[in-house]
Amino acid sequence: MQLTSASVCLLWMGLLSWVSHRIDASQGFPSPLKRCKLQEESCLVAQAQTFFQAFQKGIPERQVAALEPIDLGTMRIESGGHSESLKFKLVMSDAKLYNLANSVVVKSLKGFTKDLTKPLKLTLLMDTPELEVRAKYDVDGKLLILPIVSKGDLTIRMNEVQTKSRITAEPVKRSDGHSYLNITDYKTITKIKGGHFDLSNLFDDNKELRESTLKVLNQEWNTLALDVQPKINEACSKAFRAILQSLWANIPYDEFFKAE
């Protein structure tokens, strides 16, 4: 059977399409990230640091969301009875986390292994001098005998934040014969040295009443943090899990590391 020039052209187009599909299916790490040796933790820490610095705008072609700021969505918080003088229901919407990507120091990244018969248990430790959460707020509560019912802009500043994330990732074998990591759990805990709340539009922006109320609220930082901090941790865990899963989605685990 003779192939016409049109047939040859179609054949080449088909081959190129197949090759292109094969390449896209295994993308590798985006530059400037580099592969490390499996047990070379200093290299892993350096690459995690590079990730935060290099991809603050995200990686749109891989559906990796922005790292500066990080979208935290909506948080609903209800005081848990830690203080008789302060009770509230708070909704934070369109919440975003600022200053992580451009100031974080990655301290440790451990847990990678060659054993793919069981889930990986990864631990990531980070320090940040200051983080800031900004959101729209809607609060209904009371401070002492003073009712607080208001809507406006909320800013929470957190100082000297130590973050520990525990990540469970299950190796899943695909039809191409490679294993890819699927994150099944992501939990974040934080230690915060101190913090500060600022809310606009309290008492219709009556300056004297607003400032005196904010002063008392900030004196109650440790009590407020018992309710607010876990919700921020949950929102961060959800956001970080989605970001990391998008990064890992098309990188086979056997391509994560250099040969020993």
The 10 Å Cβ neighbour count of residue 86 is 19
The CATH code for residues 35-255 is 3.15.10.30
pLDDT in the model for residue 17 = 37
Q: Is the pLDDT of residue 118 over 70?
A: yes
Q: Is the pLDDT of residue 39 over 80?
A: yes
Q: Is the pLDDT of residue 16 over 60?
A: no
Report pTM: 0.86
pLDDT in the model for residue 19 = 35
174 token code pair: 């695909």
Q: What phi and psi, each to the nearest 5 degrees, are found at residue 185?
A: -160, 140
The 10 Å Cβ neighbour count of residue 162 is 14
Q: Is the pLDDT of residue 181 over 80?
A: yes
Q: Is the pLDDT of residue 221 over 80?
A: yes
Q: What's the CA gap between 199 and 145, in Å, rounded? A: 19
Q: What's the CA gap between 38 and 30, in Å, rounded? A: 18
Average predicted confidence (pLDDT) for the chain: 88
Mean pLDDT of the region 183-212: 92
pLDDT in the model for residue 203 = 83
Confidence of residue 73 (pLDDT cuts 50, 70, 90): very high
Confidence of residue 26 (pLDDT cuts 50, 70, 90): low
Q: Is the pLDDT of residue 22 over 50?
A: no
Pairwise pLDDT comparison (212 vs 72), residue with the higher score? 72
Q: Is the pLDDT of residue 25 over 60?
A: no
CA 182 to chain centre: 16
Q: What phi and psi, each to the nearest 5 degrees, are found at residue 45?
A: -65, -45
Confidence of residue 2 (pLDDT cuts 50, 70, 90): very low
Q: Provide the Cα torsion 234, 98, 72, 158; round to 10°.
A: 30
SS (H, E, C) 101-154: CCCCEEEEEECCCCCCCCCEEEEEEEEEEEEEEEEEEEEEEEECCEEEEEEEEE
Q: For residue 125, is it left (φ>0), alpha (ψ between -120 and 50) or beta?
A: beta
Give 176's contacts (C-beta < 8 A, 6+ positions apart).
Answer: 25, 26, 252
Segment holding 23, helix H or strand E? helix 5-25
- Please report, for the chain, the start and end positions of each structural domain, with discontinuous segments joined by +: 35-255
Q: Is the pLDDT of residue 140 over 90?
A: yes
Segment holding 86, helix H or strand E? strand 86-98
